[in-house]
Amino acid sequence: MKKIILFASGSGSNAEKIIRHCQERKIIEVVRVYTNNPTAKVIARAESLHVPVEIFNRQDLNDGKIAEKISQDAPDLIVLAGFLWKFPESIIKDFPNKTINIHPALLPKYGGKGMYGMNVHQAVLANNEKETGITIHYVNEHYDEGGILFQKSVNIENCSSAEEIAEKIHILEHQYFIEVIENLLT
């Protein structure tokens, strides 16, 4: 069975969807969820599904403690599912082309430092875009610049708020993220 680990900073809806899918299909195992946010809802979601959670701080991430734990987990893939910190280059180098991220826009538009979650949706709305979407990409040393694995667009002409855009994006994320993960590993 292939093994993945998840990194998340917030509510964890993508992480929960991935965990549930993996537990049902039994071809990929989520061995651990890592979070930098001790109050993140992803903790309760993961624990309720019996997936261990590792809470860490910036020092743990930068001094190699988390890299050591990742090596012990021996994942086939590292999945960033709403993880808001820049991912360390040392871990990316240890797991070349084995770290992926999901971004709530059609990169290269609306990517880069500070472009996450509602910030992205508000920028998309402010620019009167007619469509937006999701991008699943490899993680490299720059924010949102790794090779693109998958993109899916959605029409937002009838959306009048960033929240409406976010709802459409979540539907795409929940539908396609696990498919891309499975395609990479099977």
C-beta separation of 86 from 143 below 8 A? yes
- Report residue 2: phi and psi, to 5°: -70, 150
Tell whether the model's pLDDT for residue 174 goes beyond 90: yes
Q: What is the pLDDT of residues 132-173, one digit of tens each?
A: 999 999 999 999 999 999 999 999 999 999 999 999 999 999
Q: What is the pLDDT of residues 37-80, one digit of tens each?
A: 999 999 999 999 999 999 999 999 999 999 999 999 999 999 99
21 labelled catalytic: no
pTM > 0.75: yes or no: yes
Catalytic residue among 103, 121, 142, 174: 103
Residue 182's nearest CA partner among 35, 49, 30 is: 30
Strands (E), 81-183: 99-103, 131-138, 148-155
Strand partners, 5: 32, 78
Q: Give Cα 102 to chain centroid, integer Å.
A: 5
The DSSP result for 43-70, as a single string, is HHHHHHTT--EEE--HHHHHTTHHHHHH
Confidence (pLDDT) at 42:
98
Neighbours of 62 (CB within 10 A): 13
C-beta separation of 151 from 134 below 8 A? yes
Give the total residue count for the chain.
186
